[in-house]
Chain A
Amino acid sequence: MIRALRYVGQAAVLAAFVAAVGFFSGNPSFRHFPEGEALLKVSFSHGGDRKVECRKRTPEELAELAANMRSALDCPRERVELRFEIDLDGEPLYQALLPPAGLAGDGPSRVYERFALPAGRHVLDLRLRDSRRSEGFDHVARRAVEFDAGQSVAVDFRGGEGFIIR
């Protein structure tokens, strides 16, 4: 009797254990993204212009350099920081100065941002400055995008092509 009870107890403990394992391996469910919204991801990796223009070395300077280092142009490798702005339906959504990567500041600037938007048609104004100019932008684009609920839309930027919607 006691023995049988113990078997029942053992079965009950193991059943409870695997029931808990089975349940919590998929429940309760979790809402990660609100209903009726869409996701805008903005991400690119792009190197701006050199911070300082290349400069011709004077003959005296050249003479001071080791023979194998004597190149006529002096080009500091540091890049400018990018100025990047997004307007959504005419309202500012995002503005940032994107510093170049790397210890010497000679790498590309990078951005990765995500925004949840109400589903529907939206107009995106995208502006990027990647040169040494202090005002205005080098790349400007306006895109009208239809966002379905639950859709994920990515804005990327490539040097040759400008802004692209992926």
Chain B
Amino acid sequence: MTALQRILRPAFWRLDDWTSRVFGAAWNPLYNLGALGFFFYWIVAVSGIYVYVFFDTGVTEAYDSVAYMTEDQWYLAGVMRSLHRYAGDAMVVVMVVHLIREFSYDRLRGARWFSWLTGVPIVLLVLASGITGYWLVWDQLAQYVAIATTEWLDWLPIFGEPIARNFLAPDALDDRFFTWLVFLHIAVPLLLLLALWLHLQRVSQPRINPPRGLAAASFAALLALSLVVPATSHAPADLAMVPTVLNLDWFYLGFYPLLDLWSHGTVWVTAAILTLTLAAMPWLPPFRRPAVALVNLDNCNGCARCAEDCPFNAISMERRTDGKPFDREAVVKGSLCVSCGICAGSCPTATPFRRAGALVPGIELPDATLATLRDRLDRTADPAGQQVYLIACEHGVRPETLRRPGLAVAALPCVGALPPSFIDYLLSRCGAAGVYLAGCAEGNCHFRLGDTWTEARLERRRDPGLRKRVPRERVRCDGFAPHQSVRLRRSVETFLHDVRELPTQEIPSARQLGARFGRAHGDGGVGSP
């Protein structure tokens, strides 16, 4: 599995980068695959309702009612029918790319298994929705699909009468059975909607709507396709004849030819193995989970910022248990936590200025404590005030590769894990000339929301915001995929140059800085600003 990821991931870095240049990060379709999936679902739903109005559920009438839409009312019902088909196909495409992409970026293991596992029934339900749809036209394709499907199902020893007997001869199929098929085509997509809802239970603020521009453009493209190549039917079904040559919809029916090539049992076993493998992927190979976030109640004031910022709904605000005069306290549900550290970045008590007592914020990652980070930053402080700090996300460019004089580097699980007060601290207390935050690729945060929150905090649109007194021109934030070290290096060089051009800022005296070198934290050095 990991070998496959090693091949796919660099390919996605480059593809993502290319589409981001063309569409911009916000509109990048690859960053909006799930949202586009939803969008196509809604197109299918609305066009489906429209088409259903004209659809006749009788065996003999169904075909003609569909033909009426395509031929007589081509301008509306016909277009709706085409949209219904093509948006359904588009949904399969974005779903498959979404699946491969989440896999490539390894966003399925550890606490993230849930979204993946609930994705598996989604694949099956999407396919089943499309397949049952093709039955309804009751043309030769429908006949082929209905017979091939029921013969395949009949292989399972769970049905009494073979279902395929319903299609044995022209007089075998009755309206009642056909109505049942219509019901399936409504019920399965509704189940799919339920599965999609479940799919998103463990991500907070899921992106379920694509940006308006992207949505409008994709809709326009599908509409154009519907007008240029309207969806059509095959010849009417005739159970006295065998459908011979078929124009399959390969997105939904691509595996049907296997039923002619292999035995039904072989196809069942293959499908079962594929499904189980897909379902087991979060545990192939088992994932060694890093330590999850820990709440330190003594420093938690119940402000709920961490709970609002956690991208995986891992924090809940519960009744206070320690008698402190606050209503609530943060509680981490360890099984949901992916150890991104974003909660530490959002906690107002995570301030490096604090010298009274150890630097222990209300919440943080035990394996990447802010006290350790402050120590590291302190140790690299530069009395000349010419140094730039590069704080990089571990999922982007490895910062060690950029080491050069005048640049101090540190890596965090996510840029969102850095409380903005640290930027203030670096500039005002460590003599930094500038702070460069390098996240992973813009719009493609490995932990979903880290880059969004960081930007909002820097612009003071979200608490905790960067303090007003911080000279914004000395702070830069950008995103880089792991293969973009050259681009990052160039950007950092430019930044170094830019900040050195700025009038020298008032920096702490050498004595103040010297006093902090090598000092253990919590010794009551400089007080709070």
Contacts and interface: CB of A to CB of B under 8 A. Distances in A.
Contacts of A35: 244
B5 interface: no
Contacts of B162: 43, 45, 110, 112
A17 B250 contact: no
Interface stretch (A53-61, A84-92, A151-159): A151-159
A26 B165 CA distance: 28
A32 B160 contact: no
A120 to B, nearest CB: 15
A14 interface: yes
Contacts, number: 126
A79 to B, nearest CB: 15
A25 B239 contact: no
B273 to A, nearest CB: 24
A25 B228 CA distance: 14
Contacts of B169: 152, 154, 156, 166
Given A29-B246, A112-B165, A152-B240, A107 B160 contact: yes
Interface stretch (B82-90, B190-198, B415-423, B433-441): B82-90
Contacts of B22: 6, 9-10, 13
B278 interface: no
Interface string B221-252: 11011001101000000011111111111110
Contact of A45 (B27, B85, B90, B165): B165
A30 B255 CA distance: 12
A105 to B, nearest CB: 14
A21 B86 contact: yes
Interface residues of B, number: 50
B241 A152 contact: yes
Residue in A13, A21, A33, A151 with the greatest tally of chain B CB atoms within 10 Å? A21
A126 interface: no
B247 A31 contact: no
Contacts of B260: 32
Given A10-B23, A152-B239, A152-B241, A18 B221 contact: yes
B83 to A, nearest CB: 11
B93 interface: yes
Contact of A24 (B89, B217, B225, B231): B89
Contacts of A29: 245-248
B501 interface: no
Nearest to B252: A25
Centre residue among A6, A10, A20, A25 by max chain B CB count within 10 A: A25
A151 B90 contact: no
B510 interface: no
Contact of B244 (A19, A20, A24, A150): A150
A155 B303 CA distance: 76
Contacts of B29: 13
Given A43-B162, A43-B165, A166-B168, A112 B23 contact: no
The 6 lowest CB-CB distance pairs between A and B, nearest first, are: A166-B169, A9-B22, A26-B247, A14-B221, A18-B225, A112-B162
Given A30-B257, A152-B242, 8 more contacts: A17-B90, A18-B222, A26-B247, A26-B248, A29-B247, A32-B244, A101-B160, A112-B154
17 contacts: A14-B217, A18-B86, A20-B93, A21-B222, A29-B245, A29-B248, A30-B257, A31-B244, A32-B242, A32-B243, A32-B245, A32-B257, A43-B164, A43-B165, A107-B160, A152-B241, A152-B242
Interface of B: 19, 21-24, 27, 29, 85-86, 89-90, 93, 144, 151, 154, 160-162, 164-165, 168-172, 217-218, 220-222, 224-225, 228-229, 231, 239-251, 257, 260
Interface of A: 6, 9-10, 13-15, 17-22, 24-27, 29-35, 38-39, 41, 43, 45, 101, 107, 110, 112, 114, 150-154, 156, 166
